[in-house]
Amino acid sequence: MLVTEAVSFSMVLPRGKTAAMAIEKARNSRLASCVRGIGKILARILLRVTIRGSSEFPSRAIYVANHLSLIDAPILHLFLPIRPVFVVYAGMLRNPFYRWVIGQADHFLVEEDRPFALKGLLDALVRGHSVLIFPEGRMSLTGGLRNIQEGAAFLALHSGAPIVPLILRGTHHFLWGSPAPVVKKLSPKVSITVGRPVRIEVPAGIGRRKARRLAFLRLRELMEAGFFQSTELFPLFESVRRAARLHRFSRLALEDPILGTFSYGRLLALSCLLGRALGQRSEPGERVGILLPTCVASIALVLGLCGRQRVATLLNPATGRAGLLHAVEIASLQTVVTSRRMLAEPTLAGIGEGLSAIPGLSLLFLEDLQKEIRLGDRLLAWFESRVSPARAPEPRLDDPAVVLFTSGSEGPPKGVLLSHRALASNVAQALAVGGTGPGDKIFSALPLFHAFGLTVGALLPLLGGFSGFLCPWALRSRTIPRLCYASDATILLGTNTLLSHWGRYADPCDFVRIRMVIAGAEALRPAVRRFWSEELGLRLLEGYGVTEAAPLVAGNTVGLSKIGTVGRLLPGIEARLISIPGIAEGRELWIRGPNLMTGYLPARVAGADFREGWYATGDLVERDKEGFLRIIGRLRRFAKIAGEMISLDRSEELALDLRPQSTHAALALPSPDRGEQIVLVTTDPSLTLAELRQAAVREGSPLLGLPSRLLRSKAIPLLPNQKVDYVALASQVAASVLDNDRLPGELQKR
């Protein structure tokens, strides 16, 4: 049956009209034709309208467009080569101009107070018409996609007509017609990106409600993909400069508790100032190290280097002298920019001396650069921040922009080369699904030498046109809630470990303006989620990423989320799930997309994880019918016991459920009779193997996956990101397991 119950899209037929009479024909006249011609010329001149993307315009299709302004429908009517039936809310006709404009096109009136069947539109599609729908149901207040309704998906599912996405950009910046609180201009740049026609199909034999749900998800996926594809990509510095031109140079961009607030103009001027100084001390393409805290100066330095065709190499001070020496060596660094104030911190004692002792490496201090700056340098930097100097070298999209280092939890850290395209693409992917707007502010205490902190904490607000607050004190758990309250942030970034620490000293009032908490970098524990949701009253959205993908791969969003998963793949990312022999639960995730890295440092491992253009993440996942991903574990975190592949993470989860305040780590070590054995190291003084066995029986977990030995330690070695350093732990534990009589250091066998 073609009639459905009241749909949230609220499409109806006008009172007193039959389905066949619902479409009102355009009022064609010589005057109207003349006005249309003049209007098209004016729109090309004033709005600089361009059409790009697919050239396919089926005569029978459902065209779906995002809705930014009252001028959307006139623009589409003037520039589309086909004449679809416009679906229009009757209330919009109260505006005389809009009533006259829409009268020039075939249209289908919708009355919001009378939910009805979609039979009229279905009949129109059956008779060979095309229809054009704004599936969001209202105009966007952010410039991004809002909540997409199911009406268009229902039509596509029941009519068999293809969906053609139309993505409008820029109309909300026009002086009239948009409620979005953005900068208004007389002549904004407007574009229409046309997607390829796609038929929505669902598996046979499923229920009506499930079919509608899958069709809706497919429609949303097409709209998000179109929004991402409509984004013009530029190198990082140019991307920020274009954002400043669009949102005004005077708009607040970033702030931190050290240097204060920075507008776009001030940030770009500082970037040019630092980039010019370092450009005189390095060559194009050279990698320059950055050893600075999470602050505005660090981002200014990254942008300044990227704008000068240098590669910003972000170093992690918590790795110590050995870790920094390794990073300097594999990145072939000749210069490291740092700060005397930072190196004076007690936790970094000896780091400066260690770097100074490296042959061929020079340390450049920000304090010294500040003394060299003259008034002429400041004026030139201000000019360069607005206009590119003639014949100045400019980076290309595929040039390397930054180098980040992997955590090293499973081996020596590797340098990850990320291009301008990879970082700009990942930001565009996040903006296509994130639901952020000009009124948002991100609070990030995540370090910039991690991809999550760099891309989401800094680049996302800069390129998205909203502000960010950078905090260098992630481990000051008492300070973070107070700073978050004072910053008026609306979005909080964190990891499971950091959120668990911050929550202990937080009051619900500290996060009164926070509307979502984005968690990543490690699995979000149910206890942490429960505390932040129930005690602090906040919504947690968990995502998934890898440094090699700059880093976002999948994420839950405000519009689409499912607890226990890391969300759906971001637009533009393809995935393969590869079965692994011996592992029954989960398959390895391979990904491909524009946000993938250029390669590894050192160069000899550049292709280690690439297979025919696909990056093998090493993570085992399950994907449900709606596209949500659930992380099972790491492929390397399995033990082969008696011929079966057993997850080491399961032992850790059992221990965490029993002793959530302690740290636990499971290792796979050789066993003379079963191939391998699981050894659990814990900081808890009372946990026993018997308790683990009882917990496994209660949950129905296989007993083969239980640890055969339990070792206690006062402390388990951790990486700077607070993840377990399994390499260091394995070297400590191996001797104690193989030799029952000799236990090293603080490890005690039980």
pLDDT tens digits, 632-658: 888 777 776 766 677 777 788 888 888
> With 70 as the cut, is the pLDDT of residue 111 above it?
no
Helix ranges restricted to H, 51-144 = 72-79, 96-102, 119-126
CA-based angle 132:138:139, to the nearest 5? 95
Band of residue 242 on the pLDDT scale cut at 50, 70, 90: very high
At 742 the pLDDT is 38
Over residues 676-693, mean pLDDT? 86
The answer to whether 77 touches 88, Cβ cutoff 8 Å, is no
Domains (range + CATH), the chain: 19-229 (3.40.1130.10), 232-428 (3.40.50.12780), 637-749 (3.30.300.30)
**Top-confidence range, 385-394, 503-512, 690-699:** 503-512
**pTM for the structure as a whole:** 0.85
> Alpha-carbon distance 555 to 558, whole Å?
10
Report which of residues 441 and 703 the model is more confident about: 441
pLDDT tens digits, 175-212: 888 888 888 988 899 999 999 999 988 888 888 889 88
Three-state DSSP state, 60 = coil
Three-state DSSP state, 335 = strand
Catalytic machinery residues: 67
User: 264-279 and 375-386 helices cross at what angle (nearest 10)?
Assistant: 110
- CA distances (Å), origin 444, targets 447, 459, 496: 8, 11, 14
Report which of residues 350 and 533 the model is more confident about: 533
At 666 the pLDDT is 84
- CA distances (Å), origin 597, targets 231, 401, 441, 629: 20, 10, 28, 22
At 640 the pLDDT is 67
pLDDT tens digits, 27-51: 666 666 777 778 788 888 888 899 9
With residue 634 as reference, give the H or E element that holds it: strand 629-634
Structure tokens at 320: 């110590």
At 31 the pLDDT is 64
